[in-house]
């Protein structure tokens, strides 16, 4: 049985072929979810982002350019959706901080929203990624979710290969420092706790 190529599926999607759209969604849904989860840090938000990305794929299928790999186009759509969501989050956070300040000491209106991590919580990869600037974070996620080449990353993000390399190097350096620093703080905290127990 011959497997239908991504390009052929996209050609059918441009004609409104829903089974072809379902097939493409099945091929890439899991990888897009992993990417969105890495960028947004929340499964529910990631699932929502993937749904919006796939809907955008369907509604704007005619703008797909044949010289692009379908995967590259899908990653581009998904990262754009995630960036939009992160911008909305930042706007909400600013409004929430303003509301807290306006409350003038009457308690935390938005306690439990996860914006402040409790001291001593384990610094994992997701929290480390949050310290990496947005563009470098997107490139790191794309590179390690699906092993995209520098050239593919450049196409997805609309930047040069040299910019990809420098952004990845910067992102890895910041992530390494975040994880190494977190491990160091955990070791120090453990020593302090043992000393206090004695």
CATH number, position 190: 1.10.10.10
Q: Quick one: 10 and 89 in the same domain? A: yes
Residues 6 or more apart in contact with residue 127 via CB below 8 angstroms: 117, 178, 182
Give the per-residue pLDDT at 90: 66
Lowest-confidence pick of 53-57, 103-107, 141-145? 103-107
Q: Quick one: 97 and 145 in the same domain? A: no
Task: For residues 193-198, give the mean pLDDT.
Answer: 46
CB 138, CB 157: distance < 8 Å: yes
Task: Identify the domain boundary among 58, 78, 110.
Answer: 110
Give the per-residue pLDDT at 174: 87
Inter-axis angle of helices 70-102 and 150-157, to 10 degrees?
60
Domains held by the chain: number: 2
- Kindly report whether the global pTM for this prediction surpasses the value 0.75: no
Task: For residues 132-158, give the mean pLDDT.
Answer: 85
Domain extent for 40 = 1-110
Task: Identify the domain boundary among 41, 75, 110.
Answer: 110
CATH number, position 106: 1.10.1740.10
Q: Quick one: 106 and 9 in the same domain? A: yes
- pLDDT, greater one: 47 or 176: 47
Task: Identify the domain boundary among 42, 76, 110.
Answer: 110
CB 35, CB 145: distance < 8 Å: yes
Give the per-residue pLDDT at 45: 92
Q: Quick one: 42 and 93 in the same domain? A: yes
Q: Quick one: 55 and 132 in the same domain? A: no
What is the pLDDT confidence band of residue 142, given thresholds at 50, 70 and 90?
Answer: confident
**What's the mean pLDDT when you consider all of the chain?**
76
Give yes or no for residue 85 having a pLDDT over 60.
Answer: yes
Q: Quick one: 69 and 166 in the same domain? A: no
| pLDDT per residue as tens digits for the range 114-127 | 334 333 333 456 67
């Amino acid at each position: 049985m011959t497997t239908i190529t991504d390009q052929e599926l996209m050609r059918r999607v441009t004609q409104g072929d829903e089974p072809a759209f379902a097939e493409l969604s099945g091929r890439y849904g899991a990888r897009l979810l992993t990417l969105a989860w890495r960028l947004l840090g929340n499964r529910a938000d990631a699932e929502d982002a993937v749904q919006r990305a796939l809907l955008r794929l369907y509604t704007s299928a005619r703008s797909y350019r044949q010289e692009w790999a379908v995967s590259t186009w899908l990653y581009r759509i998904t990262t754009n959706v995630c960036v939009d969501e992160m911008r909305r989050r930042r706007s909400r956070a600013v409004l929430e901080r303003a509301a807290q300040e306006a409350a003038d000491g009457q308690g935390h209106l938005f306690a439990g929203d996860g914006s402040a991590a409790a001291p001593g919580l384990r610094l994992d990869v997701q929290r480390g990624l949050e310290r990496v600037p947005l563009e470098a974070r997107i490139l790191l996620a794309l590179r390690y979710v699906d092993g995209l080449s520098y050239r593919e990353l450049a196409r997805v993000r609309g930047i040069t290969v040299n910019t990809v390399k420098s952004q990845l190097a910067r992102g890895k350096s910041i992530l390494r420092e975040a994880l190494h620093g977190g491990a160091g703080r955990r070791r120090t905290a453990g020593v302090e706790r043992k000393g206090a127990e004695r």
